[in-house]
Chain A
């Protein structure tokens, strides 16, 4: 115990030193980008912790996988039929889509604007949810090793999901569109009115910022990403307008939007990497 008492005397100095260092770290991180590689390195070291933390969910999933394996023949058949129908439906749509994209590019050529090249897509799985109710962030299992970069857009099967804000070697952190610090430039599908959909920290709705009361926005309108911020690709569904309120006492209309993506359900997401600078968009 001798060592302890010797240390106790210097504990105050140690704490003061570490506290100064901490405050310095916070300050440096808030104002510069020097600490980005440090955070990324710590994230890479801490990767096994995510894996361990994921074990209970994986066991749960394995349970449902087991029930899949032992499910009865009729159930399986019904499910296969259902999936086949879905594939047929989707391939019909996608055939049309290819033709339409060609046509669209031809029309754009006629107009003198460059063709739109789709970005690369990467399927990723959620490995953790950042354990803080105030922050809508999740961790996915693709990182710099797979070519994920900060700023890439993330979508799920239904619409815009979020964007990459931090990368480590094998994982990256996604900021969801519903986070209080997030806003996405969007447009109304019906009439191309430009709006900004800001997160409120609630999974089930977004709010449109600074919408004039005279703007033609109705309940049921679908919003798409406008691609104006240069961060999100254009044309992914952001959400549906579920409430429009024009109060006489307020300067702007209050518009509530339900996000298209399954923000609190999706387990698989797509990372849409941005095009390299210089290539046409």
Chain B
């Protein structure tokens, strides 16, 4: 479904999100600086999943999750699983979520992000032995705070698109 009219905007947004999620933070920044990175791919998938559920195939998102796993060095399949679950939530509730204000949507997203971070931490703890830390809440909060901004931005940039 993706390659058709307007679908390239979805692909472009997701690729941009992927790039942002590995963009290097400058050297000489304190260690907690890296914590402030929102889950860019989650933001993009959630936006398009709600806005254009017909243009976001679950298998494509799952494959994107695999790439993200390799980029982030986590166990293969975890991001795919979580992002596919987000798409399924979006497919089921997109009409309701569209009616929400940006703030309410942000709250929904917070819980999705928290779930994602939690699953990622648990998987990393089981497979790679990385300790689970309460700092996993921070990216979820940042993702929530970024939502209104990101959503407005994508909306303004893609308003004139012909979806066909």
- In the complex, the answer to whether A45 meets B67 with C-beta atoms within 8 Å is yes
User: A128 to chain B: closest CB distance in Å?
Assistant: 5
Given the contacts A19-B84, A181-B129, A137 and B24 also touching, CB distance less than 8 Å? no
Q: Pick the contact of A133 from B22, B31, B92, B128 — CB < 8 Å?
A: B31
Q: Looking across the interface, which residue of chain B has its beta carbon closest to that of A168?
A: B70
Q: Does A54 sit within 8 A of B, measured CB to CB?
A: yes
- In the complex, the answer to whether A42 meets B70 with C-beta atoms within 8 Å is yes
Q: Pick the contact of A129 from B15, B24, B70, B84 — CB < 8 Å?
A: B24
- In the complex, the answer to whether A14 meets B130 with C-beta atoms within 8 Å is no
User: B2 to chain A: closest CB distance in Å?
Assistant: 13
Q: Does B45 sit within 8 A of A, measured CB to CB?
A: no
The 8 A CB mask of B68-101 against A (1 = contact, 0 = none) is 0011111111101100110110011000000000
For chain B residues 15-45, which have a beta carbon within 8 Å of chain A? Answer: 15, 18-28, 31-32, 34-35, 37
- A contact residues around B71 at 8 Å (CB): 46, 49-50, 130-131
- In the complex, the answer to whether B135 meets A133 with C-beta atoms within 8 Å is yes
For chain B residues 104-139, which have a beta carbon within 8 Å of chain A? Answer: 121, 123-124, 126-131, 133, 135
**Interface Cβ pair total, 8 Å cutoff:** 143
- In the complex, the answer to whether B77 meets A134 with C-beta atoms within 8 Å is no
- B contact residues around A201 at 8 Å (CB): 131
Q: Which of B24, B25, B37, B74 has the largest count of A CB atoms less than 10 A from its CB?
A: B24
- In the complex, the answer to whether A181 meets B128 with C-beta atoms within 8 Å is yes
Q: Pick the contact of A49 from B19, B26, B54, B78 — CB < 8 Å?
A: B19
**Size class of B's contact patch?**
35 or more
Q: CA A118 – CA B54 in complex, angstroms? A: 59
Q: Looking across the interface, which residue of chain B has its beta carbon closest to that of A50?
A: B22
The 8 A CB mask of B130-159 against A (1 = contact, 0 = none) is 110101000000000000000000000000
Q: Does B10 sit within 8 A of A, measured CB to CB?
A: no
Q: Does A264 sit within 8 A of B, measured CB to CB?
A: yes
- In the complex, the answer to whether A132 meets B129 with C-beta atoms within 8 Å is no
Given the contacts A18-B81, A25-B77, A39-B76, A49 and B34 also touching, CB distance less than 8 Å? no
Q: Does B50 sit within 8 A of A, measured CB to CB?
A: no
Given the contacts A29-B76, A57-B26, A8 and B92 also touching, CB distance less than 8 Å? yes
For chain A residues 9-39, which have a beta carbon within 8 Å of chain B? Answer: 11-12, 14-15, 18-19, 21-26, 29-30, 35, 38-39
User: A162 to chain B: closest CB distance in Å?
Assistant: 13
Q: Does A3 sit within 8 A of B, measured CB to CB?
A: yes
Q: Does A267 sit within 8 A of B, measured CB to CB?
A: yes
Q: CA A49 – CA B16 in complex, angstroms? A: 9
21 contacting pairs across A/B (C-beta < 8 A): A3-B1, A3-B54, A15-B58, A18-B84, A22-B78, A23-B77, A26-B127, A29-B76, A30-B126, A43-B70, A49-B22, A50-B71, A52-B19, A129-B34, A130-B71, A131-B21, A131-B71, A131-B72, A134-B135, A180-B129, A265-B28
What would 17 more interface pairs be, CB under 8 Å, given A56-B24, A129-B25?
A: A3-B54, A14-B88, A15-B58, A18-B59, A21-B77, A25-B80, A29-B127, A30-B75, A30-B127, A39-B76, A42-B70, A54-B23, A129-B34, A131-B37, A134-B133, A135-B124, A265-B27
Q: Enumerate chain A interface residues (CB-CB to B < 8 A).
A: 1, 3-4, 7-8, 11-12, 14-15, 18-19, 21-26, 29-30, 35, 38-39, 42-43, 45-46, 49-50, 52-54, 56-57, 60, 128-135, 137, 166, 173, 180-181, 201-203, 264-265, 267
